[in-house]
Amino acid sequence: MASGIKDKVAILGMGCARFGERWDTDADGLMVEAFEEAVADAGIEVSQIDAAWLGVGFDAQNTGPSGIPAAVALRLPNIGVTKVENYCASGTESLRGAVYAVASGAADIALAVGVEKLKDTGYGGLPTRTRGSRWDMIGVTGSAPGNFAQLASAYRAKHRVDQSDLKRAMAHVSVKSHANGAKNPKAHLRKEISIDSALKAPMIAEPLGLFDCCGVSDGAACAIVTTPEIAKSLGKTDIVAIKAMQVVSSNGWEMQADQWDGSYLHTTRVAAKKAYDEAGITDPRRQLSLTEVHDCFSITELITMEDLFISEEGQGWKDVLDGVFDAEGKVPCQIDGGLKCFGHPIGASGLRMVYENYLQLLGRAGERQRADAPTFCLSHNLGGMPSQNVSSVSIIGPLGI
């Protein structure tokens, strides 16, 4: 078995643009905003960057093809810039590229940048697009909420959860994230909401109402990574290291074989097991300090708590209602507001999650800072739809634990 990525790569610096409806700027401007923060944080010259990865979800609305737009916008030296797209895991995928480049020894310092300019589409929600010529003939051209709403129907049927109990738990997920987002100056949505307003919101895709859906935002985030040794040589003391990076793709089993019951994310379970092995985690509920999960929809966050083995299967909704994942709870989830309120610029989201975990580990999270020093911090992405998707689980923490 491979030795894994644990403690082989350190985060030298990170940056994150203010997320939101950024009518004032384009993808280039968003990347620059995040990049300048990251470079200053890293304390390096741009000329020291050996390689870069760019994560973008919808390139037609954003940067256009290739890695060139990042190289031009950031005036990178003539280095390799690789554009990656893996649905909503695109940002995490860019970080994985940079991390693997450093771990392999091919690069001393590597850059990951993720960006998405979604608000040039003219409407809320994600753009509709082709998924390939065969899919377009036989697939359903639904919406992201419609795809994920189906999780709720299957989960409810399997675990015999009353519709009103599940709706209430889903509302709690969103109310919690709004409360967290209100404390985050870079978040897209900074207004607290009540359980009642969440429950009474207009229906988007049954049973998901408006407040069960995350914000669709413009934004960018960056990470500059290097080896722990180089980080130390550059004068860094509190070194945040990569503990695990796992990306798992569906192979058609959920959608085409007859075994998956539609109530959970198969890929997340596989990715979580691999990531815990890689990081040396045996009891995630006890050992994880923080989680930033892919709460594209409230039901996704709730079920992800089970798929990450933090909640027992079928019990996640009870843990939610018990406040386990609130900012002051046992395992806070989305302490920065999550996709729900920080926002969800697809290509940036995976890096934004790591950014929050990084700030929390360094005690730089301001009003949101957890009092007890965090150790293992997890981030999770889910791209595509429950029946066919890519799931990533990344864990970072202090070097050496």
Partner 1 sequence: MPSGILSYGLYIPRRRLQRASIYDTNKWFAPGLAGMAKGEKAIGNWDEDSVTMAVEAGRYCMDGIDRSSIASVSLASTTLPFVDRSNAGIVKEALNLSDNVSSHDRTGSLRAATSLLMQSLQGDDLELCLAADRRKAKVASVEEMNYGDAAAGFLTGSGNVIAKYLGGRSKTIDFVDHYRETGADFDYAWEARFVRDEGYQKILGSTIVDALRELAISGEEIDHAVIAVPVKAVPQKLAKVAGIAPDAVADISMATIGDTGVTHPLLMLAMTLQHAKPGEKVLLASFGQGADVLVFETTEQLQAVNERQASYLRSGLADSNYARYLFHRGMLEIDKGMRAELDEKQPGTSLSRDRKTVLGLIGGRCSQTGVVQFPKTDLAVNTESRISGTLEDYPLADRVAKVLSFTADRLAYSPDPPGYYGMIDFEGGGRMTAEFADIEEGEVEVGTQMRMVFRIKSFDELRGFRKYFWKAIPIRRGDC
Q: Which strand ranges, in their side-by-side order, compose the sheet holding 388-398? A: 80-84, 51-55, 109-116, 219-226, 10-16, 240-249, 388-398, 376-385, 288-292
CB of 252 to partner 1, least distance (A): 5
Q: Is residue 121 part of the contact set for partner 1 (CB under 8 A)? A: yes
Are the C-beta atoms of 43 and 15 separated by less than 8 Å?
no
**CA-to-CA distance for 195 and 317, rounded, in angstroms?**
15
Q: Interface with partner 1 includes 164 (CB under 8 A)?
A: no
User: Which of 12, 16, 31, 149 forms a contact with partner 1 (CB under 8 A)?
Assistant: 149
Q: Does 142 bind partner 1 (CB under 8 A)?
A: yes
Which one is catalytic: 88, 213, 214, 296? 88
List phi, psi (to 5°) of 170.
-65, -40
According to the binding rule CB under 8 A, does residue 47 interact with partner 1?
no
Check binding of 258 to partner 1 (CB under 8 A). Answer: yes
Find the helix packing angle between 298-307 and 266-279, rounded to 10°.
Answer: 50
Sort 362 into a burial class: Cβ within 10 Å, 0-12 / 13-18 / 19+: middle
216 binding partner 1? (CB under 8 A):
no
Interface with partner 1 (CB under 8 A), residue from 68, 179, 201, 255: 255
Q: Which stretch binds partner 1 (CB under 8 A): 183-191, 200-208, 287-295, 367-375?
A: 200-208
Tally the residues of the chain.
401
Task: Tokens for 286, please give them.
Answer: 């006890």
Among the listed residues 150, 184, 246, 311, the single contact to partner 1 using CB under 8 A = 150
What are the residues facing 241 on neighbouring strands? 10, 397
Give the nearer residue to partner 1 in terms of CB position, either 125 or 363.
125
| Cα angle, residue 141 at apex, residues 135 and 145 outer, rounded to 5° | 125
- Give me the numbers of helices (H) and strands (E) for the chain, helices first please: 15, 11
**Is 344 marked active-site?**
yes
Site for partner 1 (CB under 8 A): which residue of 29, 262, 280, 329? 262
Applying CB under 8 A, among 43, 65, 252, 366 the residue interacting with partner 1 is 252
CA dihedral (265, 266, 271, 272) positive or negative: positive
Name which position in 25, 48, 82, 143 contacts partner 1 (CB under 8 A): 143
The answer to the question of residue 151 lying near partner 1 (CB under 8 A) is yes
88 is catalytic: yes
- From first CA to last CA, the distance across the chain in angstroms is 21
Query: Measured in whole angstroms, how far is the alpha carbon of residue 187 from the centre of its chain?
Result: 14
CA distance 94 to 68: 15
DSSP 126: P
Does 203 participate in binding partner 1 (rule CB under 8 A)?
yes
Interaction between residue 217 and partner 1 (CB under 8 A): no
Binding residue for partner 1 (CB under 8 A) from 1, 2, 137, 371?
137
Under the binding rule (CB under 8 A), the answer on residue 146 touching partner 1 is yes
How near is the Cβ of 137 to partner 1 at its closest, in Å? Answer: 5
Q: Out of 178, 188, 344, 380, pick the active-site residue.
A: 344
Q: How far is CA 175 from CA 115, 207, 214, 295, 360, in A?
A: 27, 17, 12, 13, 22
In the complex, least distance from residue 383 CB atom to partner 1, rounded to whole angstroms: 17
Give the nearer residue to partner 1 in terms of CB position, either 149 or 351: 149
Stretch near partner 1 under the rule CB under 8 A, chosen from 140-148, 191-199, 226-234, 368-376? 140-148
130 binds partner 1 (CB under 8 A): yes
* Rounded Cα gap, residues 383 and 41, in angstroms: 29
Kindly indicate which of the ranges 65-73, 141-149, 233-241, 314-322 contains the residues binding partner 1, using the contact rule CB under 8 A: 141-149
Q: Which residues bind partner 1 (CB under 8 A)?
A: 121-123, 125, 128-130, 133-134, 136-143, 145-147, 149-151, 153-154, 156-157, 202-206, 208, 252-253, 255-258, 261-263, 386-387
Catalytic residues: 88, 344
